[in-house]
């Protein structure tokens, strides 16, 4: 049971981290490059800095809606 909860938490963290990078770092930016490179970069930044970007993105979403 604990493995399932850990897997759900991990997947949620990666998805929210990827979303939060788009909401904070890449907001209102035009990005030129290969789509695969951009996806990997957003995924890795979200995985490394999701602990700070997720709360910032949620606050930004709630305050500036």
Query: Residue 49 has what DSSP assignment?
Result: H
The residue ranges of every structural domain in the chain are 2-63
Which ranges constitute the DSSP H helices of the chain?
A: 2-24, 35-63
pLDDT tens per residue, range 9-36: 999 999 999 999 999 999 988 888 899 9
Q: Do the beta carbons of residue 46 and residue 10 sit within 8 Å?
A: no
Give the per-residue pLDDT at 50.
Answer: 95
The pTM (predicted TM-score) of the whole model is: 0.87
Q: Do the beta carbons of residue 16 and residue 45 sit within 8 Å?
A: no
Q: What is the DSSP string of 18-34?
A: HHHHHHHTSTT----S-
pLDDT tens per residue, range 30-58: 888 899 999 999 999 999 999 999 999 99
């Amino acid at each position: 049971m604990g493995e399932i909860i850990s897997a759900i938490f991990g997947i949620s963290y990666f998805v929210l981290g990827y979303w939060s990078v788009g909401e904070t770092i890449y907001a209102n930016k035009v990005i030129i490059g290969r789509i695969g490179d951009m996806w990997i970069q957003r995924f890795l930044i979200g995985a490394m800095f999701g602990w700070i970007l997720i709360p910032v993105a949620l606050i930004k979403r709630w305050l500036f809606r």
